[in-house]
Structure 1
């Protein structure tokens, strides 16, 4: 059996990464530390739920920026995981010629870099919204190139993939980009050096095609077709300097790729899982198990949902007096139960266009918290309780929906965990 891998979970939420890794192999992946903090909130409900579910780990409920370098250095973590917000990663040079961060929006990713600098984990797993690969609009891919350059500077390689969970047999059409990061001195990385980078010619003549399509972690756990979307592929050599990456990035980034030794190869891949998605009808509760409070009989509210989901052309005036027409296409009046769910947002359950709106036996209702948990592959009632000052309390439905809108599909992390387990068993033992 492989040696245990100690895990640090950053931006932990209610434990989605941990559930996924536990399901992959609870004996191998040992989550020993977790950090969760919601800025601007007096109550820390997600942290309290995490504490309730995982009382045996070192759960740190403070701003990640307040975790000292010494605390990070004390963690013998083999893996760092986390789903960090998509923000502004631009960097600038200070008057002292040091790298700085423009504004405060990008600080959370740099906290991951700080943790990695102090801990030197073998592996890292990250998750983010897929628009990260095209951000910012004025310089598409720049933010991602900054991340790759920063990780390369620490001696790591990165494999990434945009995965729509429904296309791999799950119940939600949720597209997110996932990163598998591994240290360049590991046996697995040295194997890649020997197999794909002879004579120091990296990724020449599509050398990494075999890795992308067959041999890589994502290729094995989340298969893709060998033909690319519109044949799109690209190479790019990253600068050594992070500020230069921020100022002068000119490359392209597609939904699948690998970065090694400062250069990356990326392709526009097409999923090929052979699995059918789980339809909504398979995750919704039997009528007798649904509390009346989730049904909507108020005609005014039913009409509001009909309006929100319908097509619109609205004349508006901007703050500077400019008039324009806001247009929005229509969507189905209620969910098609033969399809997987749409992407769940933090506003799930409120009266808005993005809420899943069900019509069952001529009655309308919203999702229950259990159904929201099922869309993300969480156990039923995972978020029902929290512990505050040693006392167990129930969590409000609104907050439970918020948790799930912020969460990830745990089965995707389970697949990545199984891929890491295979790598460890083949190359580290």
Structure 2
């Protein structure tokens, strides 16, 4: 199979889908951050870097079976003025949609912040959903998922999966905390933000940077109870990787045009904060394998 990661970051989609049992004979990735590119190259030396998303179609790569993209989310974030699709960064999703229209992969997966579900962005969400369905021939499902079901981190993100309609053999969503295998999974109910679209015409945020140090025999304070800030410390880089489901030291090194160098601590935090949570992708990927004729 062939995988194309747009806005790839450090390859969380690649790792999560591999953990779900997918094997990719060819891996393409598109990204503009030089540290993310270097780290991706270090961890996936066989992957082919194909430049920025605006020029992917021009590269002449072979058709991907799966396309993933966690497009820039700042304009949909809870923080800031929330320009939505009017922002320079979030509008880049239009290039990803054109890539899907051009290659027509069997599956595509979009991840973004829960802000796209807010009332002030509902017109943008409708525009995005309409653009996906107007490609034609895809069954589309989406749900708001939480990393807290898998790891001790509250991180809500919308996951949208499009599959060629004729390849669907069941539903991917809903996913709930009962589907998770991690001991840190919460017992939250399945969220209500679930949607499905089928249209057959056409061609056939950041990791919390602090943790509370609990003394031996101590207990976590109840929610909303005052915290002793003397008991707080920065998470280490490895703890940050574990909070996102990456192997230890995954972000430690980068391949900078053939020169292997260590990546600074602050940059590693940024790379992890922009990444998808690996076990969430793994669960979505597992459900895709179980319900899709690939």
Counterparts of 1:222 and 1:261, CA distance in 2: 30
Q: Deviations over 1:273-317 (max 9, x none)?
A: xxxxxxxxxxxxxxxxxxxxxxxxxxxxxxxxxxxxxxxxxxxxx
In structure 2, the CA distance between the partners of 1:220 and 1:365, relative to structure 1 (3 Å rule), is closer
Q: Cα offset for 1:363?
A: 6.0
In structure 2, the CA distance between the partners of 1:57 and 1:114, relative to structure 1 (3 Å rule), is same
2:37 aligns with one of 47, 69, 75? 47
1:25 counterpart SS class: coil
Q: Which has the larger radius of gyration?
A: 1
Kept after mapping to 2: 8 A contact 1:221/1:415: no
1:161 counterpart SS class: strand
Query: What does residue range 125-274 of structure 1 map to in structure 2 within 5 Å?
Result: 125-134=109-118, 137=120, 140-155=121-136, 156-166=138-148, 168-184=149-165, 186-188=166-168, 216-219=171-174, 255-261=193-199
In structure 2, the CA distance between the partners of 1:145 and 1:368, relative to structure 1 (3 Å rule), is same
Kept after mapping to 1: 8 A contact 2:5/2:28: yes
Structure 1 position 77 matched with structure 2 position 64: yes
Query: What does residue range 8-407 of structure 1 map to in structure 2 within 5 Å?
Result: 8-27=4-23, 29-38=24-33, 44-60=34-50, 62-67=51-56, 69-71=57-59, 74-86=61-73, 104-134=88-118, 137=120, 140-155=121-136, 156-166=138-148, 168-184=149-165, 186-188=166-168, 216-219=171-174, 255-261=193-199, 345=206, 355-361=209-215, 364-407=232-275
Kept after mapping to 2: 8 A contact 1:9/1:31: no
Unaligned runs of 5+ in 1: 39-43, 90-100, 192-214, 230-253, 263-343, 349-353
Counterparts of 2:141 and 2:178, CA distance in 1: 14
Count residues in correspondence.
Answer: 259
Counterparts of 2:153 and 2:17, CA distance in 1: 20
2:282 alignment counterpart: 414
Counterparts of 1:180 and 1:86, CA distance in 2: 17
The normalised TM-score by structure 2 is: 0.79
In structure 2, the CA distance between the partners of 1:357 and 1:221, relative to structure 1 (3 Å rule), is closer
Unaligned runs of 5+ in 2: 77-84, 180-186, 216-229
Kept after mapping to 2: 8 A contact 1:151/1:157: no
Structure 1 runs (4+) deviating above 4 angstroms are 220-225, 360-364
Counterparts of 2:265 and 2:4, CA distance in 1: 29
In structure 2, the CA distance between the partners of 1:142 and 1:374, relative to structure 1 (3 Å rule), is same
Kept after mapping to 1: 8 A contact 2:171/2:291: no
Counterparts of 2:212 and 2:178, CA distance in 1: 33
Aligned Cα root-mean-square deviation (Å): 2.7
